[in-house]
Amino acid sequence: MIEPNKKNNNNNLPNIYGVFSIKKEGIVGAGHTKKKSAHQLLFFAEEKDDGSICIQPINKNFVPSGPKSFISKEEFLQNFIPEPDIYINKVYPSMRHLQKTIARAERHRRNKEYYSAEYEFKNALRIDEENIRATFGLGLTYLDRGEKDKAKLVFKRLYNLNAAFEREHKHLFNEFGIKMRKNKMYKEALKFYLKAYSLEKWDEHLFFNIARVLFELKKYKPALKFINKALALNPNFMEAIKLKNVIEKCLQNEKSVARIPQ
């Protein structure tokens, strides 16, 4: 799982890819029973194009789960030990099982078999409770069924997972936000989009979606601000141009109403 000076030509894996361990020392007990102890922590590691190493903890079900962090290659090689047997015999099969479970769930959802989709997404979350695809999928399934209260519970979980707003999950994020808006969950959708905006200034589609929700909430001035941001990035964004025209008409109507004598 460490191949110095070259990429793996068979599957294009990075030089460093797989399961590695690190020993963590601590103190257990107190007083005269106090003693040092050491235990092994497992991480999934992958080398990135810039040479840094992305590491993620391995959970009790032997899948990478939880927050990712980045360290230098030098620090990684000094502290981490390869665990190829654990990767081949435990982690890789568990990852494959999780991927197949999510794929089944997504297939059920595409086929509008929503209760089967819910069952499989929940199975996936039993393996990895922080899995982004499974969490989004479960929330989307509830929105498909019009079960807003259950969807709100999933929304709260997603809102606290910063990884949900990363670029690799953008299509799921957008679908979830649009579904919330179509279910008239405007405040939740706005909170969701603004969280993404605070973490990373994505692109014109994020600005458009924020403006669309603000428009639904009749907050026309901030809606105009965000639609202008979208058009600054893409002046030919036709949907944004149409929405801007509608927002400006609404603002003009508000001014006209304000001038009517009481």
Three-state secondary structure string covering the chain: CECCCCCCCCCCCCCEEEEEEEEEEEEECCHHHCEEEEEEEEEEEEECCCCCEEEEEECCCCCECCCCEEECHHHHHHHCEECHHHHHHHHHHHHHHHHHHHHHHHHHHHCCCHHHHHHHHHHHHHHCCCCHHHHHHHHHHHHHCCCHHHHHHHHHHHHCCHHHHCHHHHHHHHHHHHHHHHCCCHHHHHHHHHHHHHHCCCCHHHHHHHHHHHHHCCCHHHHHHHHHHHHHHCCCCHHHHHHHHHHHHHHHHHHHHHCCCC
Query: Which pLDDT does position 261 carry in this prediction?
Result: 40
Query: Which pLDDT does position 70 carry in this prediction?
Result: 95
Query: Which pLDDT does position 32 carry in this prediction?
Result: 54
Query: Which pLDDT does position 6 carry in this prediction?
Result: 38
The residues spanned by each domain of the chain are 1-82, 83-196, 203-262
Question: Which is nearest to 189 in space by CA: 168, 163, 167, 219?
Answer: 219
Distance CA 167, CA 200 (A): 9
Distance CA 70, CA 75 (A): 10
Distance CA 114, CA 144 (A): 8
Task: Give pTM, 2 decimals.
Answer: 0.81
Query: Which pLDDT does position 165 carry in this prediction?
Result: 86
Task: Tell me the pLDDT tens digit for each residue of 147-175.
Answer: 999 999 999 999 888 888 888 888 898 88
Amino acid at 157: R
Query: Which pLDDT does position 241 carry in this prediction?
Result: 96
Query: Which pLDDT does position 12 carry in this prediction?
Result: 64
Query: Which pLDDT does position 17 carry in this prediction?
Result: 94
Task: Tell me the pLDDT tens digit for each residue of 121-139.
Answer: 999 999 999 999 999 999 9
pLDDT < 50 positions in the chain: 2-10, 28-29, 257-262
Cβ-based neighbours of 209, under 8 Å, separated by 6 or more: 174, 177, 178, 181, 189, 193
Architecture of domain 83-196: Alpha Horseshoe (1.25)
